[in-house]
């Protein structure tokens, strides 16, 4: 368990203690300890005495010691046994903290979202201490917003589900091959449902296995060519499996990858060549001869086109570009040489610099930049100039270890609400990579926000602007920004804009990336990893970059170390 995991358990204990309502001071002690541990630089597991940390008393320390030794907590298990599980779901309703949830539970016996909705509708909540008619009204709205399934599910929500399904498919002996299809394969940022194409000689057996897969709430359809299931999750997810004989795999995969718009245009082109396309392949109109394609490449070749990758199949101008020989050679995951945005235990990350570096090196990277948070972001353990200097020394030391890998020094520096930067120039000039970031006061007007960002771009030490539009997919709109002005300033100064790969962000998005590329603005794909596991975010970033038609040369962190360093030192 890393520091972040331990902090999460302590926060859960605090919430449960508050719901139980016996001692608010005790709950707060757990929260304070969680904060101290999350921002503690050293792995807590390595500390001889946890009570040495500020705000960590004996009681909490015993829980931490147990977690470190066994990965479990008896206290947490006792609380979970005592408190109905449904109550934790209530924490998702904005405006409902654990204390209020405790009151709802003890006074009204509410144990689920459904109970809450009923009580609100019957106006039983307004009479409770600390509530009132206005709160009741607000809660009714918040409940609706929090529980409503968005029409399209965000990628961040479905990716772990898709990965679990892939593990299951890989474990089935009767499955010869399988692939993602649909919008998931095209790396769209939201999806309606998940699609998989499965090649098998034993369709009945595979259909039975898929319908019986763990987590299936309902089988919508089941036959030898298609299985459709609904998974039991907070927001139910529908999964479509198409079962095909192995020789039909490529044609079916192409068909079910879509998009529908791409297919409409492709079919027009096929028709002009005397072919009709279907999920089984093509048919020659004149002779009636059927063609099953051995690969998607062969399908496009039959239409006199080069291969068009899934991420471009949106029915925009990809077929014209293919015809004219103007398709980009899309960036691939293997082109990424390093990660320029990640966090460690020095701020709010879960792993040490060393752990992040070793994991990155094992991925085949040649470098990483350590970009922890800056001093004004206190909640995330932002570093003072002194701490930053100490971190630089630690990194210099660590770098002696490898001759095929480098850790660059850096920071993710807040651009303050008044436009100032969070460190003076003499601190910034010592760092290899400076990322400018807006985390506070992003409800300012477009003019103010644009000026803040351009001010940072114009600082000679700032190399990259992180998550430039600040959006959270399906949760928070992008800030109002004059993006053209931002792009122009980035182009003039040679400052890179980030494609943040956290699947909740994917910021910049594909249409922005295409514009940035056309202007010659360099893009940096950063994982924004807060743990070793999150280095994997880069895959969603590369998928999104491909949707934005980016090539290897458009992306800063595909450069070898020397060329990257030359870029970072472009202003001396």
Binding footprint of ligand DGT on the chain (CB under 6 A): 182-183, 188, 191-193, 195, 255-256, 258-260, 263
Q: Does 534 bind Zn ion (CB under 5 A)?
A: no
Backbone angles phi, psi at 316, to 5 degrees: -95, -110
- The contacts found for 18-27 with CB under 8 angstroms, 24 or more apart, are 18/97, 18/98, 18/99, 18/101, 18/102, 19/83, 19/87, 19/98, 19/99, 19/101, 19/102, 19/105, 20/79, 20/82, 20/83, 20/102, 21/99, 21/102, 21/103, 21/106, 24/99, 26/59, 27/98
Q: How far is CA 445 from CA 85, 451, 464, 500, in A?
A: 42, 10, 22, 23
Which residues of the shown chain bind Ca ion in the complex (CB under 5 A)? 182-183, 193, 195, 240
The helix/strand/coil state of 35 is helix
The helix/strand/coil state of 553 is helix
- Residue 528 interaction partner, one of Zn ion, ligand DGT, Ca ion, none, beta carbon < 5-8 Å per kind: Zn ion
- Residue 203 interaction partner, one of Ca ion, Zn ion, ligand DGT, none, beta carbon < 5-8 Å per kind: none
CB of residue 150 vs ligand DGT: minimum separation in angstroms?
12
CB of residue 307 vs ligand DGT: minimum separation in angstroms?
18
CB of residue 208 vs Ca ion: minimum separation in angstroms?
21
- Residue 107 interaction partner, one of ligand DGT, Zn ion, Ca ion, none, beta carbon < 5-8 Å per kind: none
CB of residue 534 vs Zn ion: minimum separation in angstroms?
10
Judged by beta carbon, residue 266 or residue 481, the one nearer ligand DGT is 266
- Residue 11 interaction partner, one of Zn ion, Ca ion, ligand DGT, none, beta carbon < 5-8 Å per kind: none
Judged by beta carbon, residue 4 or residue 188, the one nearer Ca ion is 188
CB 412 within 8 A of CB 341: yes
What Rg value do the Cα atoms of the chain yield, rounded? 27
Q: Does 412 bind Zn ion (CB under 5 A)?
A: yes
CB 525 within 8 A of CB 555: yes
CB of residue 280 vs ligand DGT: minimum separation in angstroms?
13
- Residue 260 interaction partner, one of Zn ion, ligand DGT, Ca ion, none, beta carbon < 5-8 Å per kind: ligand DGT
Judged by beta carbon, residue 195 or residue 507, the one nearer Ca ion is 195
Residues that bind Zn ion (rule: CB under 5 A) add up to a total of 2
Paired with 46 in beta bridges are none
Judged by beta carbon, residue 221 or residue 285, the one nearer Ca ion is 221
* Closest by Cα among 524, 526, 528, 527 to 556: 524
CB 253 within 8 A of CB 181: yes
Q: Which two tokens stand for residue 208?
A: 């039975």
Pick from 348, 528, 534, 554 the residue near Zn ion by CB under 5 A.
528
CB of residue 267 vs ligand DGT: minimum separation in angstroms?
8
The helix/strand/coil state of 338 is strand
CB of residue 370 vs Zn ion: minimum separation in angstroms?
11
Tell me which DSSP letter residue 559 carries.
Answer: S
- Residue 412 interaction partner, one of ligand DGT, Zn ion, Ca ion, none, beta carbon < 5-8 Å per kind: Zn ion
Q: Which residue is nearest to Zn ion (CB)?
A: 528
CB of residue 194 vs ligand DGT: minimum separation in angstroms?
8
- H helices then E strands: how many in the chain? 23, 17
- The contacts found for 130-136 with CB under 8 angstroms, 24 or more apart, are 130/100, 130/103, 131/100, 131/103, 135/95
CB of residue 278 vs ligand DGT: minimum separation in angstroms?
9
Q: How far is CA 262 from CA 257, 267, 314, in A?
A: 10, 9, 5
Q: Which two tokens stand for residue 328?
A: 């980009």
Judged by beta carbon, residue 143 or residue 248, the one nearer ligand DGT is 248
Judged by beta carbon, residue 102 or residue 310, the one nearer ligand DGT is 310
CB of residue 181 vs Ca ion: minimum separation in angstroms?
8
Q: Does 335 bind Zn ion (CB under 5 A)?
A: no
- Residue 259 interaction partner, one of Zn ion, Ca ion, ligand DGT, none, beta carbon < 5-8 Å per kind: ligand DGT
Q: Which residue is nearest to Ca ion (CB)?
A: 182
Instruction: Note the residues at the interface with Zn ion (CB under 5 A).
Output: 412, 528
């Amino acid at each position: 368990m890393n520091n972040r995991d331990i902090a999460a358990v302590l926060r859960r204990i605090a919430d449960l203690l508050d719901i139980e309502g016996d001692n608010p001071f005790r709950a707060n002690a757990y929260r304070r300890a969680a904060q101290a541990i999350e921002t503690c630089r050293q792995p807590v597991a390595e500390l001889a005495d946890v009570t040495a940390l500020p705000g960590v008393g004996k009681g909490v320390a015993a829980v931490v010691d147990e977690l470190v030794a066994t990965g479990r907590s008896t206290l947490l298990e006792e609380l979970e046994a005592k408190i109905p599980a449904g109550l934790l779901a209530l924490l998702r309703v904005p405006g409902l903290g654990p204390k209020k949830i405790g009151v709802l539970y003890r006074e009204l016996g509410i144990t689920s979202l459904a109970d809450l909705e009923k009580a609100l509708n019957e106006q039983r909540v307004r009479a409770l201490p600390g509530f009132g008619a206005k709160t009741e009204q607000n809660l009714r709205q918040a409940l609706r917003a929090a529980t409503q399934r968005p029409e399209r599910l965000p990628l961040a929500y479905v990716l772990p589900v898709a990965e679990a399904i892939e593990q299951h498919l890989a474990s089935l002996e009767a499955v010869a091959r399988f692939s993602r299809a649909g919008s998931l394969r095209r790396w769209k940022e939201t999806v309606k449902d998940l699609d998989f194409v499965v090649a098998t000689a034993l369709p009945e057996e595979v259909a039975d296995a898929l319908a019986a897969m763990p987590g299936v709430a309902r089988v919508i359809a089941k036959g030898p060519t298609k299985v459709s299931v609904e998974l039991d999750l907070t927001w139910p997810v529908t999964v479509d499996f198409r079962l095909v004989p192995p020789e039909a795999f490529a044609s079916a995969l192409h068909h079910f990858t879509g998009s529908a718009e791409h297919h409409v245009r492709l079919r027009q082109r096929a028709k002009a060549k005397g072919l009709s396309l279907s999920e089984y392949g093509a048919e020659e109109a004149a002779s009636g001869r059927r063609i099953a394609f051995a690969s998607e490449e062969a399908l496009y070749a039959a239409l006199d086109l080069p291969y068009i990758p899934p991420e471009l199949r949106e029915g925009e101008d990809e077929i014209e570009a293919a015809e004219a020989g103007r398709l980009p050679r899309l960036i691939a995951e293997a082109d990424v040489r390093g990660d320029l945005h990640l966090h460690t235990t020095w701020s709010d990350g879960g792993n040490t610099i060393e752990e992040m570096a070793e994991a990155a090196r094992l991925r085949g990277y040649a470098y990483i930049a350590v970009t922890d948070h800056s001093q004004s972001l206190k909640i995330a353990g932002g570093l003072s100039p002194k701490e930053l200097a100490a971190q630089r020394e630690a990194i210099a030391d660590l770098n002696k270890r490898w001759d095929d890998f480098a850790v660059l020094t850096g920071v993710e520096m807040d651009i303050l609400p008044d436009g100032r930067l969070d460190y003076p120039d003499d601190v910034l000039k010592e760092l290899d990579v400076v990322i400018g970031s807006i985390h506070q006061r992003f409800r300012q007007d477009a003019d103010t926000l644009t000026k803040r960002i351009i001010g940072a771009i114009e600082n000679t030490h700032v190399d990259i602007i992180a998550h430039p539009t600040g959006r959270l997919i399906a949760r928070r709109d992008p800030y109002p920004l004059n993006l053209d002005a931002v792009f122009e300033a980035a182009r003039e100064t040679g400052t890179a804009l980030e494609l943040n790969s956290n699947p909740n962000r994917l910021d910049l998005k594909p249409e922005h990336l295409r514009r940035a590329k056309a202007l010659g603005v360099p893009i940096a794909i950063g994982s924004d990893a807060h743990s070793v596991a999150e280095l994997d975010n880069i895959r969603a970033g590369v998928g999104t970059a491909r949707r934005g038609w980016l090539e290897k040369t458009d992306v800063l962190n595909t450069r070898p170390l020397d060329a990257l360093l030359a870029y970072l030192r472009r202003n001396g």
